[in-house]
Structures are given as C-alpha cells and as structure tokens.
Amino acid sequence: MKKTFALLLATISLSAGYAQDKQKDITSIKKMCGCYEVEFNFTETFQTTKDSTYKASPTKKDHALEWVELVEDSPNKLVLQHLLIVNDEMIIKHWRQDWMFENKEFYQFFKDKTWKYEKLNPKDVKGQWTQKVYQVDDSPRYEGTGTWIHKDGKDYWMNVTDAPLPRREHTIRNDYNVMERRNIHEITDYGWLHEQDNRKLVRDDKGNDTELAQEKGLDLYVKVEDSKCKAAQNWWKENGALWKNVRTKWQSVFDADKDINLESSVDKKPLFMHLFDLKPTASKAETDKIIDSFVK
C-alpha cells in the first residue's frame, strides 16, 4: 500500500513538473511576438570543397523593422507571422513559424522543391516542440523538433534539419541544393536571437551529400515599442483573412500525408508573386486554384 501511494505521489509530481515546463515553453515562444528592429548577419566560415575555383558567397548584412503577429494561440499550437515594414505604405508578408507540441508528422526537405513525409513515434517527441517554418507564400520550407531548455539562466531551443536555399542564396548560387541548418532560438534580455550554423550540401537523387562550405548566421531581434509597427498591425487586419485561406488550403495538402513536390513557377511566375498580386478580398476559391496549380 505504501509503495502504491508513493508511486502515485511521484506520478502526480512528475505530471505537475511536466505541465510547468510546457507553460515555460509557451511563454518563451510568445516572447518572440511583437515589434523588433532586426539585424541579419551571414558569412561563410569554412570552405570544405577541394575545387580551387570555388567562390564563397559575399558576407550578408542587413537591417529591418519587423512585426511578429500571433495569429493562432492554442495549448498545442502557436502560429507566428512575420511582417517586414519597408515604410508605412509598404508591408511585405515575410516568413511564418508554427510551433507544435509533441508533433509526430513531418515534411522533411529532400531537394529540388521536394519534401518527404515522415511520421515519428510518440516517444521520440515526448515533451518536444516542432518548429515548422514556411516560405512567404506559406508553402513548406523546413521543420524540426527539439526540447526548450530553461536552465542556468538560459532560455533556448535547438534543432538540426535540412532546408532549401534561402532567398539570399538561391538568387546568386546554383552549385548546391540543400542547406543543413543548425537553428538556435534564444530568448534574451533585449528580445531574442536566431543563431545558425549551416552546411552547404550537394545532394544526389539517392540522398548522398557532398559538403561545399559552412556558414554562420546571427539574426538579432531587438524589442522596440509596438507603436513603431502600427502599419504592419493595420496591414494584417486588412489582409489576414486572405492568408488564413492560404494556410487552410496548405493544411489540406499537408493532411494528405504524402510527399510534396512543387512547381518552381506557373505562367513564368513563382507562387509568391501569384498570391502577392491578389487583393485582400480574393476568394478562397481563387487562392485554392493558384496553390493547386503548383502542387504536382
């Protein structure tokens, strides 16, 4: 009887600690929302290819004002939409990150606009959060699972996963087709940071990789008054319904639980240009038709 009671107390204590940790995770994720002055920094660190003619990408430094909107808030899923503010008259829908608790279903980037569907065992994602990152048109980009760490005054999440080339690279490079990303999201006293240690890979049809180079990335998000991002907040109020339709359509594609292969362009335009050309009042039928034309 004493053993049974002790086991019950231990189970209750473990469950309470588990729930407390999850709430800390949610608090950390939500701290990435708000208005930020962002500094983007990327540079190649090591050249690993033996090709003497190889040329490294130029060091990239940029700045932006960005609003991060919490567009979905549920116990097991948080959706954060990034909006770039060029000026009060020009807002650009940027990347989106979804955080899902103990998610088992993944679309792992393979290469060449192809993502492989994979389902993990529940025990392999126990207590973990998946970060799913999407392109500006809400098509898949990359995703991975990991545990938020709240120890020794640190507050971060880390994962390693494969991704397509970022825009800063695919506009100038065609000699590699996969970027293996080591992502760290850390909450700081000034806001948060996104640190990356990346490998530039050439992947063949069998999945064999050859590394060309490595890269370091550091994006600093410095919190400023929300009022500085008022234009983006207003833009989302006007355009949010359109992009909810886009997310809903993509979710129906993901729910098929099949590999995804996308067209690079339709009518000589990439997907984001088709969607960015729409008016905020465009119907779901219009956005569905556009997305369907890109899904092979």
pLDDT single digits (tens) 267-284:
999 999 999 999 999 999
Average pLDDT (212-234) is 98
pLDDT of res. 11: 44
pLDDT exceeds 90 at position 224: yes
Share of the chain above pLDDT 70, in %: 94
Residue 270 CA to residue 136 CA, distance in Å, equals 11
The total number of structural domains in the chain stands at: 1
Strand pairing partners for 290? none
Tell me the residue range of the domain where 23 lies. Answer: 2-294
Q: Which of 135, 140, 132, 96 is nearest to 261 (CA)?
A: 140
Residues 6+ positions from 199 with CB-CB distance below 8 Å: 179, 180, 211, 213, 214, 215
Residues 84, 123: contact at Cβ < 8 Å? no
pLDDT exceeds 50 at position 10: no
Average pLDDT (210-229) is 98
Q: How do residues 147-171 score in pLDDT, each as one tens digit?
A: 999 999 999 999 999 999 999 999 9
* Residue 224 CA: distances (Å) to CA of 96, 179, 221: 20, 32, 9
The pLDDT-based confidence of 18 (bands split at 50, 70, 90) is: low
Q: How do residues 103-160 score in pLDDT, each as one tens digit?
A: 999 999 999 999 999 999 999 999 999 999 999 999 999 999 999 999 999 999 999 9
As a three-state string, the secondary structure of 149-214 is EEECCEEEEEEEEEECCCHHHHCCCCCCCEEEEEEEEEECCCEEEEEEEEEEEEECCCCCEEEEEE
pLDDT exceeds 50 at position 9: no
Average pLDDT (22-29) is 98
Q: How many CB atoms lie within 10 A of CB 233?
A: 15
pLDDT of res. 96: 98
pLDDT exceeds 70 at position 14: no
Helices (H), the chain: 2-30, 167-170, 230-254, 271-276, 284-294
- Mean per-residue pLDDT over the chain, rounded: 94
pLDDT of res. 16: 52
Q: How do residues 39-96 score in pLDDT, each as one tens digit?
A: 999 999 999 999 999 999 999 999 999 999 999 999 999 999 999 999 989 999 999 9
pLDDT of res. 259: 98
* pTM of the full structure: 0.92
The pLDDT-based confidence of 26 (bands split at 50, 70, 90) is: very high
